[in-house]
């Protein structure tokens, strides 16, 4: 069952053809241009930021609780797919409280580095609290997934976990990931998705739309974050649609890995070179 609100909260916009919980149009121009963001789009940004600000201190516990601990297993699967040898430079977009970033840092070891970025300062604050003397190769900073503050061809891998569905302008974020990847670099996105097993779907719907908000109301004194979660999963493109978007953004060798009856999916791709 899901789950994970996200490992991050990313910037918002609206991709062509993308289903969104509150779709209103708009988009971004070229990679070096300033964003053309409407007041309504900015309002959505603020709404999402406020959600994660309100649960930042509880999200690690709630993510593990609602997913029965599967969220970390899914993250470990992503790390294994990257087949890291050590020494790589990795960008973790939508890093949230840094749970994936810390797993990656162990794999790249002292010769490599992991930079975790997010546009929720409260989530980054939780990630910063976890830093210690044993994590010299990891750092966190503020950045919007649609306008990453890094030069072209900077990273051996770019990862996203449980954050892409919070970016209606999916293509803008993917183009940014492609831009900062080195030629031959890897992209991996872990996301919550509707189950592929029809037998699981009725239970999944009850759990997501009724049980989780009910529990959240008692723990957080608000059900808003966990009313938003299942709607954001529904709004996310289908597996085939997201694969096509990756290819349209320049990625090659796209692979799709469904896990746990399809309720979590990893999208893996490369930048040719």
Residue range 110-120, pLDDT digits in tens? 899 999 999 99
Q: Which residue has the higher pLDDT, 183 or 1?
A: 183
Would residue 230 count as lying in a domain? Answer: yes
Q: State residue 4's pLDDT score.
A: 59
pLDDT digits (tens, 9 = 90+) for 47-84: 888 999 999 999 999 999 999 999 999 999 999 999 99
Neighbours of 218 (CB within 10 A): 8
Would residue 235 count as lying in a domain? Answer: yes
Q: What is the largest CA-CA distance in the chain?
A: 51
Looking at residues 96-117, what average pLDDT do you find?
96
Residue 254 burial (10 A CB sphere; 0-12, 13-18, 19+): middle
Is pLDDT above 70 for 256?
A: yes
CA distances from 53 to 63, 132, 160 (A): 15, 23, 19
pLDDT digits (tens, 9 = 90+) for 211-239: 999 999 999 999 999 999 999 999 999 99
Is pLDDT above 90 for 263?
A: yes
**CA 202, 204, 209, 211 torsion: positive or negative?**
positive
Would residue 11 count as lying in a domain? Answer: no
pLDDT digits (tens, 9 = 90+) for 139-151: 999 999 999 999 9
pLDDT digits (tens, 9 = 90+) for 163-215: 999 987 899 999 999 999 999 999 999 999 999 999 999 999 999 999 999 99
Is pLDDT above 90 for 31?
A: no
Residue range of the domain that includes 49: 39-270
Q: State residue 207's pLDDT score.
A: 97
pLDDT band per the 50, 70, 90 thresholds, residue 33: very low
pLDDT band per the 50, 70, 90 thresholds, residue 43: confident
Q: State residue 45's pLDDT score.
A: 76
Q: State residue 37's pLDDT score.
A: 62
Are 190 and 197 in contact by the 8 Å Cβ rule? The answer is no
Would residue 7 count as lying in a domain? Answer: no
Is pLDDT above 50 for 5?
A: yes
Is pLDDT above 60 for 28?
A: no
Strand arrangement, sheet containing 113-118: 138-142, 113-118, 89-93, 155-161, 181-192, 264-270, 252-259
Q: State residue 39's pLDDT score.
A: 78
Looking at residues 119-135, what average pLDDT do you find?
92
Is pLDDT above 50 for 158?
A: yes
Question: What is the domain count for the chain?
Answer: 1
What CATH number should be reported for the domain holding residue 103? 3.40.50.150
Would residue 24 count as lying in a domain? Answer: no
Task: Enter the DSSP assignment of 155.
Answer: E
Q: At what angle do helices 70-82 and 59-66 cross, to 10 degrees?
A: 90
Would residue 141 count as lying in a domain? Answer: yes
Structure tokens given for 164 = 């892409």
Would residue 185 count as lying in a domain? Answer: yes
Would residue 31 count as lying in a domain? Answer: no
Q: State residue 213's pLDDT score.
A: 96
């Amino acid at each position: 069952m899901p789950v994970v609100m996200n490992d991050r909260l990313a910037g918002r916009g609206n991709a062509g053809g993308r289903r969104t919980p509150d779709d209103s149009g708009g988009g971004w121009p070229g990679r070096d241009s300033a964003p053309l963001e409407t007041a309504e789009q900015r309002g959505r940004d603020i709404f999402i930021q406020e959600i994660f600000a309100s649960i930042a201190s509880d999200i690690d516990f709630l993510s593990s609780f609602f997913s029965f601990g599967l969220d970390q297993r899914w993250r470990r699967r992503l790390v294994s797919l990257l087949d890291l040898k050590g020494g790589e430079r990795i960008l973790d977009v939508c890093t949230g409280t840094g749970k994936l970033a810390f797993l990656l840092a162990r794999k790249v070891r002292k010769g490599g580095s992991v930079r975790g970025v997010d546009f929720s300062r409260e989530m980054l604050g939780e990630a910063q609290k976890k830093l210690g003397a044993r994590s010299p190769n990891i750092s966190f900073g503020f950045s919007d997934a649609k306008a990453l503050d890094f030069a072209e061809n900077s990273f051996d891998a770019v990862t996203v976990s449980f954050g892409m569905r919070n970016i209606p302008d999916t293509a803008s974020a993917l183009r940014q990931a492609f831009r900062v990847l080195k030629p031959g670099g890897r992209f991996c996105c872990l996301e919550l998705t509707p189950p592929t097993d029809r037998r699981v779907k009725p239970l999944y719907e009850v759990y997501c739309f009724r049980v989780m908000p009910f529990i959240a109301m008692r723990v957080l004194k608000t059900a808003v974050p966990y009313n938003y979660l299942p709607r954001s999963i529904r709004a996310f493109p289908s597996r085939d649609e997201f694969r096509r978007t990756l290819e349209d953004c320049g990625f090659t060798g796209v692979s799709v890995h469904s896990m746990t009856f399809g309720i979590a999916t990893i999208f893996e791709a490369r930048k040719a070179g």
